[in-house]
A = this chain, B = another copy of it.
Amino acid sequence: MNQKELGALIDGLAGKKIDMLGKDFLLTWEKSRDEIEATFIVADALRALRDSNVSTRLWDSGIAVSNFRDNSTRTRFSYASACDLLGLYVQDLDEGKSQIAHGETVRETANMISFLTEAVGIRDDMYLGEGDTYQREVAKSLDEGVKAGVLPSRPAVINLQSDIDHPTQSMADFLHLSHRFGGLEGLKGKKIAMTWAYSPSYGKPLSVPQGIIGLATRLGMDVVLAHPEGYDLIPEVVELSKKQAAASGGKFSHVNSMDEAFKGADIVYPKSWAPFSVMQQRVPLLHANDSAGLKDLEKKCLENNARFKDWECTEEKMKLTKNGKALYMHCLPADITDVSCKAGEVAASVFDRYRDETYMEASYKPYIIAAMILLCKSKDPRATLKGLLEAGKKRSLI
């Protein structure tokens, strides 16, 4: 992209109504359509600036807190890369995985780690009913800290996966789709199948499928959610998605057949998750550190899962899609049959064909996270990006 094209890309922000300053990025459906689009533009601009060897450091010092209450490699690296790209230094906050901090502790810790902090990224997806709540408690504590004059500025809380949404994933996914389908306009009317798929594991969070239907239904798409009976998502998110589809001129259907979902689909997203009811049962067991109870629950779930081994994204199923050529998506790592397990979410030959696409899909995440931080911190994102472009400081001297 040359300087002029880059300028035009950034100018796409003009006229967008953006009210993100001093706020957080927790759920995509709390953001306006303009704000979603602005996030995509800023992400594309940051990537193009970097590709043009223009420095995107907005800070020459500053802390970005990383708080992972669940294991992570991909999102951890995406967050670290995003923060480094902006000039922030990541500092891990490790509170231990089994307990959730509450009240006084959250308030105090949130302030203690934020005296020189610009962003706080939190992954908390294990505890249904608690992850999003915790993120909001941190955000509220930071508000109080700013109000009391304890904090010089309000760090942005970035949801790196909660029990409800996984916005850095879904936004990266849709930026990828936007590039593949000629922009967000090109996605209108396209059929996307968000379907459950078999996996020999259990307890996978609901936030990815919820994030996908919660965002796809904003874009006028034909959204199909498919899973075996009993593998429900959080009911409120499904309800919301229905309403959003209606409002955006799209469609939302909810079926119990993978075939039906795949039929004529432009995009398929086959992925395992644990039933809502199981996630509910897990919470008290996790808190109690009841490993016998957890094992027992796992055994029952795996037995139930095994009834649905035919929920696999095979070549046969892919043939049902539009011209047999739907775009396959996955947040990775996928459970690939005969590769990572005996029977899994996707056939090896299908995954092979789309591997590079899934890698490309993932490649947007660092830029999406950086865009979220920038938009929550900059008074004038367009001027900020223009400033970087005009300064033209080299990122690499090599």
Q: Which residue of B lies closest to A86 (CB)?
A: B61
A interface: dominant SS = mixed
Q: Which of B81, B113, B151, B360 contacts A77 (CB 8 A)?
A: B113
Verify B84–A61 contact, CB threshold 8 A.
Answer: yes
- A33 neighbours in B (Cβ, 8 Å): none
Any B CB within 8 A of the CB of A93: yes
Any B CB within 8 A of the CB of A60: yes
- A394 neighbours in B (Cβ, 8 Å): 60
What CA separation (Å) do A151 and B362 show in the bound complex? 11
Q: Which residue of B lies closest to A95 (CB)?
A: B73
Verify A359–B73 contact, CB threshold 8 A.
Answer: no
Any B CB within 8 A of the CB of A103: yes
Q: Which of B73, B359, B366, B397 contacts A116 (CB 8 A)?
A: B366
Any B CB within 8 A of the CB of A281: no
- A384 neighbours in B (Cβ, 8 Å): 397-398
A324 CB to nearest B CB, Å: 22
Any B CB within 8 A of the CB of A247: no
Verify B104–A340 contact, CB threshold 8 A.
Answer: yes
Any B CB within 8 A of the CB of A388: yes
What CA separation (Å) do A151 and B74 show in the bound complex? 15
Any B CB within 8 A of the CB of A150: yes
Verify B89–A51 contact, CB threshold 8 A.
Answer: no
Verify B62–A152 contact, CB threshold 8 A.
Answer: no
The stretch among A9-17, A219-227, A331-339 that forms the contact with chain B is: A331-339
- A128 neighbours in B (Cβ, 8 Å): none
Take A80-B89, A85-B116, A112-B73 as given contacts and tell me if A356 and B398 are in contact as well, using a CB distance cutoff of 8 Å.
Answer: no
Interface residues in A329-386 by Cβ distance below 8 A to B read 332-333, 336, 339-340, 356, 359-360, 362-363, 365-366, 374, 377-379, 384
Verify B356–A377 contact, CB threshold 8 A.
Answer: no
A208 CB to nearest B CB, Å: 16
Take A55-B60, A103-B339, A152-B50 as given contacts and tell me if A77 and B112 are in contact as well, using a CB distance cutoff of 8 Å.
Answer: yes
A357 CB to nearest B CB, Å: 9
Q: Which residue of B lies closest to A151 (CB)?
A: B363
Any B CB within 8 A of the CB of A278: no
Take A63-B81, A150-B360, A388-B397 as given contacts and tell me if A112 and B74 are in contact as well, using a CB distance cutoff of 8 Å.
Answer: yes
Any B CB within 8 A of the CB of A292: no
- A332 neighbours in B (Cβ, 8 Å): 108, 112
Interface string of A71-95 (1 = CB under 8 A from B): 0011011101100111101110100
Interface string of A6-37 (1 = CB under 8 A from B): 00000000000000000000000000000000
Chain A to chain B: the 8 pairs with minimum beta-carbon distance, closest first: A81-B116, A148-B356, A150-B359, A84-B89, A378-B398, A77-B113, A80-B91, A58-B397
Show 14 residue pairs from A and B whose CB-CB distance is below 8 angstroms, ordered by the A residue.
Answer: A58-B396, A61-B84, A73-B93, A81-B91, A103-B339, A104-B336, A104-B340, A111-B362, A115-B362, A150-B356, A150-B360, A150-B363, A377-B398, A379-B398
A residues adjacent to B (C-beta < 8 A): 50-51, 55-63, 73-74, 76-78, 80-81, 84-87, 89-91, 93, 103-105, 108-109, 111-113, 115-117, 145, 148-152, 332-333, 336, 339-340, 356, 359-360, 362-363, 365-366, 374, 377-379, 384, 387-388, 393-398
